[in-house]
């Protein structure tokens, strides 16, 4: 209807306004709930053109539209807004059209530019955690939404399989892994421990010994024993220690933190890890073999977790490959004066004119930093996919600065496509009761596998308490428990605007009431049950022109008609939350309808048929919308 009104105004603008108006003047919005109407045209842009009051402009336009555009039952002008009431025939026709389309609202596949969506991007020194769940669900959903809008989409991840953090796990395994009776160190094979969890255990083990050694060094320094350090470090400790005099508790805490970092940099265990990194980058055979072995343990663990999450990837990238290209690009940038080298041999870029600061791109020992490999990875991707138009990086908002720098560097290196790259910045996931952020090196991370298993267990308990499982096999029951649990988890993490942080409450996620996944899943199951009971489930909306719609039926049809716009908005904003909350509003309307309007017992066949078709299309849109969130919907629940 918006399109029909817009076309009528544009093609008759000379007669109506005495001039050809621009399309951007024609603006629609949702009709306020306290006003009668189905569609609202904003009048204010036309007031200046018509040189009259908003009320006069509204009356003139409203009268014209009612007389020249079909299916307009009435109109009213409220302030600067023209509200149209659309007749029942229009909505029945709209229902008939959407009923014919299997993937209603979806665009034609691969008709829009190719976009790459990066998500997950884990480190191979630890298992995936709660934060990774939001990341994966968000990235996967955005990719599916873009595909539904007609984009060709490449889903990818960059696996952080190199760097000092990887060497920490490797070194700790070498130093602290106990030997069994066969003289073997711990492996997933001889312990039964999932590979990523075993490697993560030694990352935590490294940190434990790291802290112990750093604290011992500080004790030495406090005892004025600097025999095992340089004069420069000893002088820096004394300077920091003396600076605490007269400071308040907060300032002292900050100074103590700097002392701790100073001590950490003097530890032998960190020195060994750095030496291992240099050996790895030099392709030392023994170091490389250990790295390959432990990474393969982790990859097997990740694969299992991704399967449970229900996410997938089209292409994998590894930092161990791309950092080399990144270093080559740094050399090219030095030749072009994009970068500069400091006296210690490190390489930097000066971004002060861009409102930022100087950024390190290569350490003095020649090893790469994250920025180096990210530059290399981006260039590599555009070489792999010549039709690629842009990349969406799904990464937490703590990396906002990093991506601002990355896009600037790519631009300064001459890659114009960098302007089409964007950071899908999302808020962190926190736990209730002030537990705060999760830090894996302290061993307090909320493990993704454990959380998913716990959620499914809770869904099992909740569903069994409700009953209604007669006639379902044990295998089907377990599939249903997983469907409900994972649906609840995904929906809870996706219904919130990506930019906002989430306080995750596992129990709330599987409740059957409120804005939850199971609430929507249950509505779908209810409709499928209704349709199964109907004698004729092949009804169509054709021939129902004279059906009188109840207000709630009209509201449902309006909501269904808005699905393509919701899908388009979600794609533009990279926000699955827009789909989630659209689904919630649709289900609320349908539940109101279901509880107040007869369907199967309706005596008038044309009304019964229409309501069955309406119900069928609500179920269809629920299924389509939830699939974009990576959520399956049940036929029975």
Q: What's the pLDDT at 370?
A: 85
Q: What's the pLDDT at 437?
A: 45
Contact 319, 163 (CB under 8 A): yes
Higher pLDDT, 430 or 192: 192
Q: Could you give the CA distance from residue 194 to residue 128 in angstroms, rounded to a whole number?
A: 12
Is the confidence at residue 613, as pLDDT, over 90? yes
Q: What's the pLDDT at 346?
A: 96
Element (H, E) at 112: strand 112-118
- Among 78-87, 223-232, 363-372, which is the least confidently predicted range? 363-372
Plot region of 548 (φ>0 → left; ψ -120 to 50 → alpha; else → beta): beta
- Among 273-282, 439-448, 564-573, which is the least confidently predicted range? 439-448
With bands split at pLDDT 50, 70 and 90, how would you rate the model's confidence at 537? low
**Would you say residue 409 lies in a domain?**
yes
Strands ordered across the beta sheet of 315-318: 315-318, 151-159, 112-118, 388-396, 422-426
Q: Could you give the CA distance from residue 327 to residue 558 in angstroms, rounded to a whole number?
A: 55
Is the confidence at residue 52, as pLDDT, over 60? yes
**Would you say residue 486 lies in a domain?**
yes
Proportion of the chain above pLDDT 70, given as a percent: 96
With bands split at pLDDT 50, 70 and 90, how would you rate the model's confidence at 464? confident
**pLDDT (mean) for 36-59:** 93
Task: Please indicate, yes or no, whether residues 472 and 387 belong to a single structural domain of this protein.
Answer: no
Residues across the chain = 637
Q: What's the pLDDT at 63?
A: 95
pLDDT digits (tens, 9 = 90+) for 123-166: 999 899 999 999 999 999 999 999 999 999 999 999 999 889 99
Task: Please indicate, yes or no, whether residues 423 and 477 belong to a single structural domain of this protein.
Answer: no
pLDDT digits (tens, 9 = 90+) for 363-388: 998 888 889 889 999 999 999 999 99
Task: Please indicate, yes or no, whether residues 532 and 597 belong to a single structural domain of this protein.
Answer: yes
**pLDDT (mean) for 188-193:** 96
Q: What's the pLDDT at 538?
A: 63
Q: Could you give the CA distance from residue 621 to residue 628 in angstroms, rounded to a whole number?
A: 11
Q: Of 38, 67, 86, which residue is a domain's last?
A: 86
Strands ordered across the beta sheet of 358-362: 340-341, 347-350, 358-362
Task: Please indicate, yes or no, whether residues 483 and 601 belong to a single structural domain of this protein.
Answer: yes
Q: Could you give the CA distance from residue 637 to residue 630 in angstroms, rounded to a whole number?
A: 18
Q: What's the pLDDT at 38?
A: 93
With bands split at pLDDT 50, 70 and 90, how would you rate the model's confidence at 435? very low
Task: Please indicate, yes or no, whether residues 366 and 472 belong to a single structural domain of this protein.
Answer: no
Is the confidence at residue 598, as pLDDT, over 50? yes
Task: Please indicate, yes or no, whether residues 412 and 508 belong to a single structural domain of this protein.
Answer: no
**pLDDT (mean) for 188-209:** 96
Is the confidence at residue 467, as pLDDT, over 80? no
Q: Of 365, 400, 430, which residue is a domain's last?
A: 430
Q: Which of 206, 208, 213, 247 is nearest to 228 (CA)?
A: 213
DSSP for 361-408, written as a single string: EE-TTS-B-HHHHHHHHHHHHHHH-TTEEEEEEEEEGGGHHHHHHHHH
Proportion of the chain above pLDDT 90, given as a percent: 84
Q: What's the pLDDT at 440?
A: 43
Q: Is 106 exposed, middle or buried (0-12, 13-18, 19+ CB in 10 A)?
A: middle
CATH number at 190 reads: 3.40.50.620
**pLDDT (mean) for 64-76:** 94
Contact 313, 157 (CB under 8 A): yes
Is the confidence at residue 184, as pLDDT, over 70? yes
Task: Please indicate, yes or no, whether residues 484 and 556 belong to a single structural domain of this protein.
Answer: yes
Mean of per-residue pLDDT scores for the chain: 92
**Would you say residue 146 lies in a domain?**
no
Q: What's the pLDDT at 470?
A: 76
With bands split at pLDDT 50, 70 and 90, how would you rate the model's confidence at 436? very low
CATH number at 53 reads: 3.30.1360.70
CA angle (532, 538, 543) in 5-degree steps:
135
Helix (H, G, I), strand (E, B) or coil at 334: helix
Q: 356 — phi, psi (to 5°)? A: -110, -145
Q: Which of 480, 434, 396, 508 is nearest to 139 (CA)?
A: 396
Helices 319-335 and 370-384, packing angle to 10 deg: 100
Helices 285-309 and 195-222, packing angle to 10 deg: 120
Is the confidence at residue 441, as pLDDT, over 50? no
Domain span including residue 63: 2-86
Task: Please indicate, yes or no, whether residues 458 and 359 belong to a single structural domain of this protein.
Answer: no
Higher pLDDT, 84 or 281: 84
Q: Is 419 exposed, middle or buried (0-12, 13-18, 19+ CB in 10 A)?
A: exposed
**Would you say residue 56 lies in a domain?**
yes
Provide the 10 A C-beta neighbour count for residue 507. 11
Q: What's the pLDDT at 210?
A: 97
Task: Please indicate, yes or no, whether residues 365 and 465 belong to a single structural domain of this protein.
Answer: no
Q: What's the pLDDT at 162?
A: 85
pLDDT digits (tens, 9 = 90+) for 387-432: 999 999 999 999 999 999 999 999 999 999 999 999 999 998 887 7
Q: What's the pLDDT at 471?
A: 76
Task: Please indicate, yes or no, whether residues 163 and 293 belong to a single structural domain of this protein.
Answer: yes
Q: Which residues contact 285 (CB under 8 A, 6 or more apart)?
A: none
**pLDDT (mean) for 222-234:** 94
**pLDDT (mean) for 336-355:** 95
Task: Please indicate, yes or no, whether residues 476 and 417 belong to a single structural domain of this protein.
Answer: no
- Among 140-149, 284-293, 470-479, which is the least confidently predicted range? 470-479
Q: Of 56, 86, 116, which residue is a domain's last?
A: 86
Higher pLDDT, 471 or 361: 361
**Would you say residue 442 lies in a domain?**
no
Task: Please indicate, yes or no, whether residues 306 and 405 belong to a single structural domain of this protein.
Answer: yes
- Among 171-175, 474-478, 589-593, which is the least confidently predicted range? 474-478
**Would you say residue 198 lies in a domain?**
yes
Say how many domains are in the chain: 3
Contact 388, 151 (CB under 8 A): no
pTM > 0.85: yes or no: yes
Q: Is 138 exposed, middle or buried (0-12, 13-18, 19+ CB in 10 A)?
A: buried
Q: 341 — phi, psi (to 5°)? A: -105, 135
Q: How far is CA 399 from CA 22, 117, 250, 403, 437, in A?
A: 41, 17, 26, 7, 15
């Amino acid at each position: 209807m918006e399109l029909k009104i817009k076309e009528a105004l544009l093609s008759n603008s000379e007669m109506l306004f005495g001039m050809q108006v621009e399309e951007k003047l024609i603006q629609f919005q949702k009709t306020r709930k306290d006003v009668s109407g189905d569609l609202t045209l904003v009048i204010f842009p036309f007031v200046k053109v018509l040189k009259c009051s908003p009320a006069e402009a509204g009356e003139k336009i409203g009268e014209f539209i009612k007389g020249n555009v079909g299916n307009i039952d009435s109109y009213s002008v409220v302030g600067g807004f023209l509200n149209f009431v659309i007749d029942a025939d229009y909505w029945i026709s709209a229902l008939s059209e959407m009923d014919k389309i299997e993937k209603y609202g979806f665009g034609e596949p691969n008709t829009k530019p190719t976009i790459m969506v990066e998500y997950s991007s884990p480190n191979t020194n630890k298992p995936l955690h709660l934060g990774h769940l939001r990341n994966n669900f968000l990235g996967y959903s955005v990719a599916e939404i873009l595909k539904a809008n007609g984009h060709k989409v490449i889903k990818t991840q960059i696996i952080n399989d190199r760097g000092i953090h990887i060497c920490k796990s490797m070194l700790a395994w070498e130093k602290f892994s106990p030997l069994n009776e066969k003289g073997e160190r711990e492996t997933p094979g001889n312990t039964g421990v999932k590979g990523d969890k075993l490697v993560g255990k030694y990352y935590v083990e490294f940190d434990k010994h790291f802290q112990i050694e750093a604290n011992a060094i500080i004790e030495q320094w406090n005892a004025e024993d600097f025999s095992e350090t340089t004069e420069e470090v000893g002088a820096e400790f004394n300077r920091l220690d003396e600076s605490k005099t007269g400071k308040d508790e907060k300032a002292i805490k900050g100074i103590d933190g700097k002392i701790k970092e100073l001590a950490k940099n003097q530890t032998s265990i960190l020195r060994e890890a750095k030496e291992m990194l240099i050996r790895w980058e030099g392709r030392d055979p023994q170091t490389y073999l250990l790295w390959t072995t432990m990474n393969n343990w982790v990859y097997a663990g990740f694969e299992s977790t991704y399967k449970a999450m229900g996410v997938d990837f089209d292409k994998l990238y590894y930092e161990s490959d791309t950092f080399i290209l990144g270093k080559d690009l740094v050399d090219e940038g030095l030749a072009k004066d994009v970068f500069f080298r400091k006296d210690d041999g490190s390489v930097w870029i000066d971004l002060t004119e861009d409102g930022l600061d100087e950024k390190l791109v290569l350490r003095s020992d020649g090893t790469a930093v994250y920025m180096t490999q990210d530059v290399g990875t981006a260039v590599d991707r555009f070489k792999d996919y010549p039709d690629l138009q842009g990349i969406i990086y799904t990464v937490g908002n703590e990396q906002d600065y990093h991506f601002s720098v990355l896009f600037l560097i790519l631009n300064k290196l001459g890659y114009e496509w960098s302007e089409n790259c964007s950071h899908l910045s999302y808020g962190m996931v926190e736990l209730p009761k002030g537990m705060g952020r999760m830090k894996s090196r302290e061993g307090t991370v909320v493990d993704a596998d454990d959380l998913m298993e716990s959620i499914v267990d809770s869904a099992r308990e909740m569903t069994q308490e409700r009953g209604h499982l007669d006639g379902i096999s044990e295998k089907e029951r377990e599939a249903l428990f997983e469907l409900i649990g994972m649906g609840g988890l995904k929906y809870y993490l996706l219904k919130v605007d990506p930019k906002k942080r989430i306080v995750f409450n596992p129990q709330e996620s599987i409740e059957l009431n409120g804005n939850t996944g199971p609430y929507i899943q249950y509505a779908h199951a209810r409709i499928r049950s209704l349709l199964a009971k109907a004698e004729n489930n092949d009804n169509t909306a054709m021939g129902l022109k004279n059906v009188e719609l109840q207000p709630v039926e009209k509201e449902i049809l309006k909501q269904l008609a808005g699905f393509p716009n919701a899908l388009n908005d979600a794609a533009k904003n990279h926000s699955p939350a827009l789909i989630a909350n659209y689904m919630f509003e649709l289900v609320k309307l349908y539940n109101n309808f279901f509880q107040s309007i007869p369907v199967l017992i309706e005596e008038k066949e044309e009304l019964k048929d229409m309501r069955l078709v309406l119900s069928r299309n609500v179920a269809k849109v629920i299924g389509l919308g939830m699939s974009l969130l990576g959520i399956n919907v049940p036929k029975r629940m």
